[in-house]
């Protein structure tokens, strides 16, 4: 396994509020910020944290479907508006479904590793509350193999794909404990989001989220194997982070103590034209996790913080098994024993994850990296977890489509 040929650091993380149903101030019939607002807010917030923005060499925007949700493409060219120092410097937008944010970070890392840049501004963004849910589901179906799957697919396309995965998992490993673990995942997401003022579920005051999440799935109203609480919500928002070499950090005027070091940068691709061989397993997630851990020289037991792509609660369980924190079929006891809790042996999604913080699709991969930087520099405020010497690594998993585009990063404190 190749190691990184030079050191890369993440610094200056920034998030907007992740906005949508669940926020008290959200109202579907009232005017809401557009995509340009979110790009500018996150980018300006990030750039304001460095002393010398002129040291930025490039910019990258991660986004999935702005051309359809917002009728706005060409997002890279908005970065000079957010940061004048990027005028006449390379900027671009990258796409990989819900893994677009992770791919944007990959693009920045590759620019640094190839010596084409020493400091790169990365922004992930999506604004999805612009269309009715039925139309949004069709737009998001573009993350699947549309020509093959959409014609006969459920109106709620992606929830149905992961409902099928949940059904396969129930059949293989048992339903009762799995449903309890999925409810536990939801409850932990809500509890963590309540510590995070920018989270979509920050205002969630449900006195018993575990009981709520145990609502029995109803195929006539939604889907056979999952309920609406098993799903991340439609979200608007953006996140930003700056990647830099050692020289880039110095040029930006950022101290190493205000940055986290990348130990691994990994990406794996599945076959979009094929359905999973075993729906109860995330094969491409397992591949990218193995690749990232090998590059970092780490084991699952070395992880002190995990950011996983819990677009659905069942995806969270499957990810724990794919990473190797739990054996196949054993994610339920891992969760129910409290190992993934905020104060557990490996806290998972400490700021709420996709279900709690929100899931603006193109922003998620960048948000995960930004949150890991905050945690490893001790700047996560009420969301701060303890990362000790015994488990010094933080790891993220960002997924595009149904386990098709996978990006993983492993970071450590400087």
312-331 residue pLDDT tens: 999 999 999 999 999 999 99
Residue from 98, 311, 346, 383 carrying the catalytic annotation: 98
| 225 labelled catalytic | no
Instruction: Please provide residue 311's backbone torsions phi and psi, each rounded to the nearest 5 degrees.
Output: -60, -30
Rounded Cα distance between 113 and 121, Å, is: 15
pTM above 0.85, yes or no: yes
Q: What would the pLDDT profile of 63-73 be if each residue is shown by its tens digit? A: 999 999 999 99
Average pLDDT over residues 146-169: 94
Task: Give me the pLDDT at residue 2, please.
Answer: 81
Q: How confident is the model at residue 3 (pLDDT cuts 50, 70, 90)?
A: confident
Average pLDDT over residues 208-230: 97
Instruction: Provide, rounded to the nearest whole percent, the portion of the chain with pLDDT above 90.
Output: 96
| 91 labelled catalytic | no
Domains defined along the chain, listed by start: 9-132+235-259 (3.40.47.10), 154-233+263-413 (3.40.47.10)
Is the pLDDT at 152 greater than 90, yes or no? no
Q: What is the mean pLDDT of the chain?
A: 97
Q: What would the pLDDT profile of 277-313 be if each residue is shown by its tens digit? A: 999 999 999 999 999 999 999 999 999 999 999 999 9
Is the pLDDT at 61 greater than 80, yes or no? yes
CA distances from 393 to 29, 223, 367 (A): 44, 37, 17
Task: Give me the pLDDT at residue 134, please.
Answer: 84
Neighbours of 337 (CB within 10 A): 12
Whether the Cβ atoms of residue 94 and residue 62 lie closer than 8 Å to each other: yes
Which region holds residue 339: left if phi is over 0, alpha if psi is between -120 and 50, else beta? alpha
Lowest mean pLDDT segment, chosen from 98-112, 147-161, 350-364: 147-161
Task: Give me the pLDDT at residue 151, please.
Answer: 85
Task: Give me the pLDDT at residue 1, please.
Answer: 67
């Amino acid at each position: 396994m190749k190691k990184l040929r030079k050191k890369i650091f993440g610094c200056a993380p920034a998030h907007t509020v992740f906005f949508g149903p669940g926020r008290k101030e959200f109202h579907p019939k009232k005017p809401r910020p557009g995509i340009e607002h979110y790009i500018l807010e996150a980018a300006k917030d990030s750039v304001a944290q460095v002393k010398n923005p002129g040291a930025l060499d490039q910019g990258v925007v991660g986004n999935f479907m702005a051309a359809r949700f917002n009728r706005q493409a060409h997002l890279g060219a908005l970065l000079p508006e957010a940061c004048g120092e990027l005028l006449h410097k390379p900027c671009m937008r990258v796409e990989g479904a819900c893994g677009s944010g992770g791919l944007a970070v990959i693009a920045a890392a590759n620019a640094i590793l190839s010596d084409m840049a020493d400091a790169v501004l990365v922004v992930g963004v999506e604004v999805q509350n612009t269309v009715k849910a039925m139309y949004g589901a069709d737009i998001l179906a573009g993350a699947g193999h549309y020509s093959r799957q959409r014609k006969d697919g459920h109106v709620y396309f992606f929830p149905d794909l992961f409902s099928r995965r949940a059904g396969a998992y129930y059949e293989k490993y048992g339903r009762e404990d799995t449903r309890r673990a999925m409810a536990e995942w939801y409850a932990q997401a809500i509890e963590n989001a309540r510590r995070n003022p920018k989270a979509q579920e920050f205002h969630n005051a449900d006195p018993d989220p575990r009981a709520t999440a145990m609502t029995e799935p109803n195929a006539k109203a939604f889907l056979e194997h999952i309920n609406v609480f098993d799903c991340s919500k439609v979200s608007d928002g953006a996140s930003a982070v700056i990647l830099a070499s050692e020289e880039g950090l110095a040029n930006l005027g950022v101290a190493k103590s205000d940055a986290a070091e990348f130990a691994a940068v990994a990406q794996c691709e599945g076959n979009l034209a094929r359905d999973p061989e075993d729906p109860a397993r995330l094969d491409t997630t397992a591949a990218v996790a193995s690749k990232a851990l090998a590059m970092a020289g780490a084991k699952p037991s070395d992880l002190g913080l995990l950011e996983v792509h819990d677009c659905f609660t069942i995806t969270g369980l499957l990810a724990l098994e794919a990473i190797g924190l739990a054996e196949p079929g054993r994610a339920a006891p891992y969760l129910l024993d409290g190992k993934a809790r905020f104060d557990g042996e490996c806290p998972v999604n400490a700021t709420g994850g996709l279900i709690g913080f929100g899931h603006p699709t193109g922003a998620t991969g960048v948000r995960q990296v930004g949150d890991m930087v905050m945690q490893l520099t001790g700047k996560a405020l009420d969301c701060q977890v303890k990362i000790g010497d015994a488990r010094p690594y933080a790891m993220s998993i960002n997924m595009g489509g149904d386990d098709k585009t996978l990006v993983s990063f492993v970071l450590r404190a400087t």
